[in-house]
Every structure is written in C-alpha cells, then in structure tokens.
Amino acid sequence: MTNDDGSVGYKIDPASGYAPTIYFTPEEERVVRLALKFCGFGRSGAFSVFNDVPASDGGLEASNYYTPVLRALNLRRALTFDYLSSTSKARLVEPLVIDVFNGVSYLVARVKGTEEIKGYRFTRITSMPAVLPDGFTVSDETLAMARAWRPEYARTPRPLDVEVSTNENYADLLVRQYPEAIAATKSNGKVEVRITFENPRQALRFVLEGADRVRLESPKSLRTELLTWLGDVNRGDVPEISAASFEVAPANDVLGQTLQLLHAVYASEDGLRVSELATRFSLTPDHVRLIMDRLVSLEPMAEASDGTNRFPAHVIKECEDWDDEEHDDSTYRADFSDLPEGAEDPSPLMWRDVFELNIALREASRIYEDPAIFSAIEKIEGAMNAPVQVEMTSNEALLAQVESAIESHSQIKIEYTSGVSDESHARAIEPREMKVLNGHTYVRAYCTSREAWRTFRVDRINAVLATSPVTEERPEDGVENWLTRVGDEGEEVVVVVEAANRWLFEPLPGAQWLVLKDGRHAVKFRSSDETFLDYLMVRAGAGAVVATTKFAKAGHDLARRIAAQL
C-alpha cells in the first residue's frame, strides 16, 4: 500500500502477521528464552497478575485464592468457598487438581458426599476458600476422571446486559475501552451505553469503576448489591499502627519484586527456599510467600496447550509441612519436565509476540544487567522499525500521532480524560517515550499545562487538537522506570485491608506492606490526589479502612453520590 506521504509499506493484521526474522546470538537467545519463560505472553504469564483493576482472568483478585486451594490439594482436605455459576452459593468440595484451559485456571474437584466431578473457575470464586479439617481419599480412577474434565461440561453464568447513562465525553471513553459497547444519544443529551458482562460480579466492578460518572439504568437487580457495597466503604475497626515498622524493599513495586524472585528461581537448578529468597532480596518471608504462592498457579504459554502437565515450564512449590505452611521454609523451583523430548522449536514470532517480548526484556533489564539483553532489545526494535504498518486497536487510534510527536520532538495539544473524571480537559504535552504494559500504551511527556513530567494513557486521549515545534529546554525527568513507578509525591496514607482485598492495592507505586497480628494487611503509600483515594476506597468496599486520621472519611461522600444515582 502507498501511504499519504508517498512511502510504500505493508498493512498487517497483528493477529496473523509474522515479524521479520530476527537472528539472535547464543547469548541473546538465552536471555530471550528466559524472558519468555518467566514472563509469558498476555494473561498466561507473570504479567497477568498486574492487569489493570478490576482484575480479569488470571488477575490479582483471583490469585489470592490459589494458596488455600493448593494447601487443601496437598493435604487432601475438603474446601469450602462461595461460587458464582447460574446462581451464587456456597460450595463444599474435595479438590483434586488445578488445570488451565486457554489461559484460564480451574479447580477440578469432587462434590463432597458424591462422586460428581466439577470444575470451578477461579475468577468466579467470590470468597476466600477455607480449608476444612475433613480429610478424604481418592482413587487413581477418580483422579483420571478429574484430569479428563474439560470446561465444555461446565455450566456458565447467564450474560448480563448493563446499561448506564453518562455524558458524551465519558461515553466515548467507554466505547473505546469496550469495543463491544453500544451507545445511543437520548433527547436530553445524555448517552446510554450498553455492555454485556459474563456475570454480575464483573458488572458490579464496572459500575463501581464508573462511580458518579455513570448512572445505572438497568438491570435493577444490581441496585441492592451496590447499595450494600457502598454502605461498607471505608468503615470498620482501625488498629493502632503508629509504631508499626513497614517493610522497605530495594524494588519499590510489586512487579519488580516478582521479576526478581522469578529470575532467581528459574536460574537455580534445585530451586530456592523462602529464607534464601528473603535474604537475597531483603524481603520478609511472608512477602516472599505472598508473591510466589500466586505464581505457582501461573502456567507460562498456557494457551499453547489445554491440559495439566503439558506446559514448557512452571513454578513448583515443595512444602515439608503443609499443616504449618505459613511458617514452612518451602522451596520454589522451575519445573521443565513438561517440555516433550525432542520438541520442535516455537513458531516464528508474530508482531504481537515481538512487542510483548520487548516489554519483558526491558523489565528484566531493570533488575539485572546483561549486555545480551540490550543487544537483543536493539535487534527487536530494529525489526519493529521496518517499513511495516501495524493496525492499531480502536481504543488507541491516536497512537500514530503521539508516536510522530516523539520522533519529531513536537508539542501536541490534546483533549484528555483522566481516570477519575467524566470530562475532558485540554493539555499541552511534549511526548518523550512510549511503553506498553498489560495491553495499554502509556506515554511519558512534559506537561506544559502542569509544568511537570506526567504519564498519560493513550486510550484516554480523545483528540489531538494541534501540533507545534518544541521551543524550550525542559528539566530532566526525575522518575526512573516511569512505567511502574510514580515519584514520592503526595501525602502518606495507611490503609488496613483484608487479605482478600490486597490485590487492589498491590499495583500502587512505592507501596510498603505489613502483616498485622489479626491477619489483616496494612499498606502505606503516597497519594497526591484525594479524589484518587476516594475512588480507590469505593472500589475496595468492605474489608478496607483508612488508618490515617486525616483521610478517615475517604470515599464516604463519593459513595453517597453514587448511591443517590441508583
């Protein structure tokens, strides 16, 4: 095809187009294979636990449930939890195996007191699983039946159509973020947006994310659940934590800590104990367990297969005393036994694979230095600059214009909708660098409107209004690794959360953690915007309470405003 500027290139569908052949040296191939193994692609790899909230398949919310399930599996103990299928109710089961199908994790279990084998999707478990003292035995035949179970036999929840009304600007943002959404403008100027969700829990998360920017029109069945949720926002017992000592780790983001731990485990042939990992990376044993236990269930490249024990590699936990798992000095190791003997080399890299591999290598380069990493990155980015135009997804339609501004060192005036607003505002920015994480593209830019460096999500840019040359020198950006770190700006906040709610706070930059005597977790972070804290507490709902006196009522007014619109 011929582009507007007269250049000639090829237009390739990113779902089916292969990247040019990239020839790696043996050392580069080694680091590429390592990045593939411990990062994986999409929702099946290590990055899947850092999806934007609300969590999707394999996200942080569901990952909390793996530890008690694994304990019950190893102890052959019964398990109980609340589960959403055609209806939501408590389940009592005897766990047999964890299996992964197309990147989605299931617990396959026998219904207690019967011989019925069922599969339970982790993302539909709605309460922390409890391990019961009731033991059970299982025959080889029953285990074989469990391993033969497939999701096509499972009952799925009825899809739920959610309709909200909002203004034109926020409706446009929703349509770009949910390509399947249907929008219609009404006579009063409001826009109604309809989106189909897999189950009521996803729908609830969506409405909470919209907060007072949307009004729920239907279904009315969500209203009662939302009112209960909103009534519990930032309410509960606050323990005394003024003298508490929070853990400070060398890597101040959970993603960095996860990659550090995974790299060490994959590099150790015999695996590493909790105590060894804690000492090496200046973490508490509890923190090591919290990170590694959820990764035990992740199967890198899971979409390449559809059954247990057929993956290229995964993390195995070996515990000497499962009854005292919380204090056991367990060993974590990488298991490569699933790779078939004489297995063929992987298929040629597709464009989408190259992009994600580049992200994985850049993240790895933050943690350990190896010249082969940087030379591999240089080759990948060289191939990505080939004369090929890759179609942009609909919610990043302005990506090319932002990228052009980076290359030409230009200033652009944009209309931007922040994550806590339903109105767009004009901002003049000078883009310097773009990165991709979890399916979203971010741009780092000097914002002349704020006279400071800021990070913007490209799919929240509504329009590029004007372009002009940069005429002034700007101060250096003082934030390193800006994709996963935000500076130490803002006021210090401490929030006490139930263990099951920890996932919502873990992606916060610079978060420091402390496990309290009552089993709850305290997280300390900085917030430069009280509005952000309000939205965070509304999303957390019951099980999270602010311990910092100044912000003791964070989220209360917002919860009341949302409730008034129901």
Q: What is the DSSP string of 410-429?
A: EEEEEEE--TT-SS-EEEEE
Q: Compute how many other C-beta atoms are within 10 angstroms of the C-beta atom of residue 559.
A: 25
Partners of 467 in beta bridges: 412
Residue 71 parent element (H or E):
helix 66-75
Can you read off the two tokens belonging to residue 11?
A: 């237009």
- Residue 350 phi/psi, 5° resolution? -95, 165
- CATH 2.30.30 segments of the chain: 60-153, 397-469
Helix, coil or strand: residue 501: helix
For residue 462, which amino acid is it? N
Q: What is the pTM of this model?
A: 0.67
**Could you say which architecture CATH assigns to the domain 397-469?**
Roll (2.30)
Q: Decide if 379 contacts 22 (C-beta within 8 A).
A: yes
What single-letter DSSP state applies at residue 149?
A: -
Domain covering 60-153: architecture: Roll (2.30)
Query: Residue 130: which region, alpha, beta or left (left: phi > 0; alpha: psi -120 to 50)?
Result: beta
Contact 438, 58 (CB under 8 A): no
Q: Fold for domain 491-564?
A: Alpha-Beta Plaits (3.30.70)
> Each residue of 317-375: pLDDT tens digit?
889 998 888 889 999 987 766 555 555 433 345 454 565 567 667 766 765 678 888 88
Task: Give the pLDDT confidence score for residue 199 in this predicted structure.
Answer: 76
Diameter of the chain measured on Cα atoms: 75
Whether the Cβ atoms of residue 106 and residue 95 lie closer than 8 Å to each other: no
- Mean pLDDT, the chain cut into blocks of 10 residues (566 residues total): 50 44 78 62 45 40 78 92 82 89 80 93 85 93 91 74 92 84 89 88 86 90 91 91 67 62 77 92 84 66 40 71 89 70 46 61 67 83 52 57 88 86 87 72 88 86 89 84 58 88 76 84 83 90 93 95 89
Q: Which of 3.40.720, 3.30.70, 3.40.1800, 1.10.3470 is the CATH number of 160-197+199-231? A: 3.30.70
Hey, is 68 helix, strand or coil?
helix
Question: In the Cβ-directed half-sphere of 206, how many Cα atoms lie within 13 Å?
Answer: 25
User: pLDDT tens digits, residue range 516-535?
Assistant: 888 888 998 888 778 889 98
Which segments of the chain belong to CATH 3.30.70? 160-197+199-231, 491-564
**Cis bond before residue 54 (omega within 30° of 0):** yes
